[in-house]
């Protein structure tokens, strides 16, 4: 049986996809220990259904308790929904304070979907104050919505970009945005969003001088019977643009008389439209009264605009500071990753030869399969080089031998400096008959090579072993035994485990493709 918290989380996920199912799950979760979480989901569903008062009361109580329990995703969700409710009820200061709380929680808890939602809502609040920044934030939100696959994210962004384009006078672009929103399959679940975008089409068409959008007007008339406050407000405001003044006045009075209208953010627009309709019917007294009411709403909005703008700028500065800190932190982390990668490479690389070191060799040794083989290569009489010619010449010899072994390796093979004057070659996918021939070619290539400042010929002894016969440390011991057998037998030769006389490739053997050509003169 799923836990109550799991049910609440699932209900939140379904809130836009299947509101009825989400409500059922939320109610079931409230029967367990997820009472606060259920309140948040139910308040969201009430808000989308236009039951603003109940949603606000329940959500404010839930958020107050959630704050006492420490930062959480549910606190961020509650702040997000209550911020939207406050915006609908024309309480911009409260909406902004909650939005700031939401964004800070999302950044602290890495909540992409809610962060995108907060950025989107902040863009809506900025639309009149700073349209360019509003558009920038909407596009950021759109990108984040796509990444987290928020079901109605694209729908919301298209609608608000449509509003921005309409207010900027880009009517054709606005109409394209609104219609993109209306084509979204999620719009059927959200009549208030549908009514808002239909209203946008009607208003942009009127302002741009386009023909009346008959399909959108027909759909608006279908939505006129909806009891949802936001739906009523958008539908009536839109239809009034295309109705005779008397009919428009009747519709506008009906929605303005609703007890739950309160200080709805569209109230001023509705009073202004009613004033125009009454004036057209000859009711000058009524027109003047509603014009005064419209101006009261306008003055109320302007009175708080400076304060609201200052708070908006504070939120934006906070976001910019956070983004700058995060960018600096990301740069620092990238530098640390680069340094770590360099240190990792250095810890696995021999600094003199550039080959893999003993640690890298031990790691790679564990990855061998039965098709692979190992050569241990020891420089004969290397002590004589150091004692006679000095350590710098000895280091130059080791570096040149390292280059020689690296050049002898195929792409899938790898050479290592195992320690001192001892090297190793791991040969991948080597046919059984070819091992002796490959080892002999390495030995002969070293013998042919000219080492500057060394007036005698340098040679190597090689011990060879196959992973099909040994594995891991036993393979290493087998190759080591073969190497010392080669040294005891007089050096400058190859011995193979199990210890048998070395064999050279016969006339019909083909090992030419198993080892890259060694050009001693070039080295």
CATH number at residue 102: 1.25.40.10
User: Is 200 domain-assigned?
Assistant: no
Task: Give the whole-angstrom CA distance, residue 294 versus residue 278.
Answer: 14
Distance CA 183, CA 173 (A): 15
Q: Which DSSP string do the residues of 65-120 spell out, in sequence order?
A: HHHHT-S-HHHHHHHHHHHHHHHHTT-HHHHHHHHHHHHHHHHHHT-HHHHHHHHH
> How far is Cα 391 from Cα 384, in angstroms, rounded to an integer?
10
Residues 412, 313 share a domain: no
Torsion of CA 496, 498, 503, 504, to 10 degrees: -40
Same-domain pairing of 2 and 145: yes
Cα 309 to Cα 307: distance, rounded to the nearest angstrom: 5
Question: What proportion of the chain, given as a percentage, has pLDDT over 90?
Answer: 51
Same domain membership, residue 322 and residue 408? no
DSSP 412: T
3-state secondary structure 267-300: HHHHHHHHHHHHHHHCCHHHHHHHHHHHHHHHHH
Q: What is the number of domains present in the chain? A: 2
Domain assignment present for residue 197? The answer is no
CA distance 413 to 356: 12
pLDDT score for 97? 84
Going by C-alpha positions, the residue among 51, 32, 34, 111 that lies closest to residue 79 is 111
In DSSP terms, 417 is beta-bridged to: 423
Residues 105, 30, single domain; the answer is: yes
Residue 375 lies in a domain: yes
Distance CA(74)–CA(80), nearest Å, equals 10
Residue 113: Cβ within 10 Å count: 21
CA angle 255, 258, 261 (to 5 degrees): 90
Q: How many CA atoms lie within 13 A of 56 on its CB side?
A: 16
Q: How far is CA 476 from CA 310, 380, 465, 473, in A?
A: 73, 20, 8, 5
With 0.85 as the threshold, say if the pTM is over it. no
* 146-184 pLDDT per residue, tens: 998 888 999 999 999 999 999 999 999 999 999 999 999
Q: Is residue 274 part of a domain?
A: no
User: Distance (Å, rounded) from C-alpha 51 to C-alpha 231?
Assistant: 12
Q: What is the pLDDT of residue 324?
A: 67
Residues 310 and 382 in one domain: no
| Residues 320 and 379 grouped into a single domain | no
Task: Residue 402: give the domain boundaries.
Answer: 361-514
Q: How far apart are CA 361 and CA 363, in angstroms?
A: 5
The pLDDT value recorded for residue 1 is: 38
Q: State the alpha helices, DSSP H only, in 126-241.
A: 131-148, 153-167, 171-182, 191-208, 214-223, 229-239
Element (H, E) at 447: helix 435-448
DSSP string, 222-280: HHTT---HHHHHHHHHHHGGGS-HHHHHHHHHHHHT-TT-TT-TTHHHHHHHHHHHHHH
> How far is residue 363's CA from residue 349's CA, in Å, rounded to a whole number?
12
- CB contact burial 455-468 (16+ within 10 A = b; e otherwise): eeebbbbbbbbbbe
pLDDT tens track, the chain, 523 positions:
357 888 999 999 999 989 999 999 999 998 877 899 999 999 999 998 888 889 999 999 999 999 999 999 999 999 999 998 888 887 877 888 888 888 888 888 888 888 888 888 888 888 887 899 889 989 999 999 999 888 899 999 999 999 999 999 999 999 999 999 999 999 988 999 999 999 999 999 999 999 999 999 999 999 999 999 999 999 999 999 999 999 999 999 999 999 888 878 889 999 999 999 999 999 999 999 999 998 888 777 666 555 555 666 666 666 666 666 666 666 766 776 777 677 676 778 888 888 888 888 888 888 888 889 999 999 999 999 889 999 999 999 999 999 998 887 777 889 999 888 999 999 998 888 888 888 998 999 999 988 988 899 999 999 999 988 787 788 899 999 999 999 999 999 999 988 755 444 333 334 333 443 333 333 3
Q: Do 141 and 6 reside in the same domain of the chain?
A: yes
pLDDT digits (tens, 9 = 90+) for 205-246: 999 999 999 999 999 999 999 999 999 999 999 999 999 999
**Under DSSP, is residue 496 helix (H, G, I), strand (E, B) or coil?**
strand
Regarding whether 98 and 4 lie in a shared domain, the answer is yes
The verdict on 316 and 395 lying in the same domain is: no
Q: What is the average pLDDT value for the chain, to the nearest integer?
A: 86
Q: Residue 254 domain-assigned? A: no
Same-domain check for residues 316 and 460: no
* Burial (0-12, 13-18, 19+ Cβ within 10 Å), 61: middle
Q: Answer yes or no: is 339 within a domain.
A: no
Whether residue 396 is contained in a domain is answered as: yes
What pLDDT score does 50 carry?
A: 87
317 with 408, same domain: the answer is no
Co-location of 423 and 320 in the same domain: no
Strand partners, 376: 424, 463
């Amino acid at each position: 049986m799923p836990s109550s918290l799991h049910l609440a989380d699932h209900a939140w996920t379904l809130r836009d996809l299947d509101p009825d199912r989400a409500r059922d799950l939320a109610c079931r979760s409230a029967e367990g220990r997820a009472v606060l979480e259920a309140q948040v989901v139910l308040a969201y569903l009430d808000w989308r259904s236009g039951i603003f008062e109940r949603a606000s009361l329940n959500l404010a109580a839930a958020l107050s308790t959630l704050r006492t329990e420490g930062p959480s995703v549910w606190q961020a969700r509650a702040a997000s929904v209550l911020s939207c409710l406050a915006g609908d009820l024309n309480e911009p200061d409260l909406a902004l304070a909650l939005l700031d709380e939401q964004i800070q929680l999302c950044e602290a808890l890495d909540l992409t979907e809610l962060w995108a939602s907060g950025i989107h809502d902040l863009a809506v609040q900025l639309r009149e104050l700073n349209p360019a920044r509003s558009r920038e934030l909407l596009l950021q939100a759109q990108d984040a919505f796509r990444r987290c696959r928020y079901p109605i994210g694209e729908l919301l962004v298209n609608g608000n970009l449509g509003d921005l384009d309409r207010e900027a006078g880009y009517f054709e672009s606005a109409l394209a945005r609104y219609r993109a929103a209306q084509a979204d399959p999620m719009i059927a679940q959200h009549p208030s969003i549908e009514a808002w975008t239909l209203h946008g089409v009607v208003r942009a068409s009127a302002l741009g001088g386009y023909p009346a959008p008959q399909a959108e007007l027909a759909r608006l008339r279908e939505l006129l019977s909806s009891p949802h406050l936001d739906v009523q407000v958008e539908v009536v405001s839109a239809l009034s643009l295309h109705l005779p003044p008397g009919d428009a006045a009747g519709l506008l009075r009906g929605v303005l008389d609703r007890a739950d209208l309160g200080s709805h953010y569209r109230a001023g627009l509705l009073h202004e439209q009613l004033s125009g309709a009454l004036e057209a019917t000859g009711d000058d007294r009524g027109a003047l009264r509603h014009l005064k009411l419209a101006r009261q709403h306008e003055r109320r909005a302007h009175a708080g605009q400076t304060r609201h703008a200052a708070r908006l700028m504070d939120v934006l500065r906070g976001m910019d500071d956070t983004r700058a800190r995060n960018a600096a932190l990301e740069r620092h982390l990238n530098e640390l990753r680069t340094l770590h990668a360099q240190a990792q490479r250095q810890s696995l690389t021999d600094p003199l030869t550039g080959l893999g070191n003993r640690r890298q060799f031990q790691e790679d040794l564990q990855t061998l399969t039965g098709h692979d083989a190992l050569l241990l290569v020891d420089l004969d009489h290397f002590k004589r080089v150091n004692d006679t010619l000095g350590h710098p010449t000895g280091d130059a010899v080791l570096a040149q031998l390292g280059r020689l072994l690296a050049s002898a390796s195929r792409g899938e093979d790898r050479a290592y400096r195992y320690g001192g004057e001892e090297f190793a070659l791991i040969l991948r996918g080597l046919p059984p008959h070819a091992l002796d021939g490959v080892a002999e070619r390495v030995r002969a290539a070293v013998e042919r090579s000219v080492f500057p400042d060394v007036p005698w010929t340098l040679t190597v002894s090689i011990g060879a072993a196959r992973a099909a016969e040994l594995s891991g440390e036993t393979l290493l011991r087998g190759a080591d035994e073969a190497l010392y057998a080669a040294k005891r037998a007089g050096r400058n030769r190859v011995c193979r485990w199990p210890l048998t006389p070395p064999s050279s490739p016969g006339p019909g053997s083909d090992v030419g493709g198993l080892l890259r050509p060694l050009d001693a003169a070039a080295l």
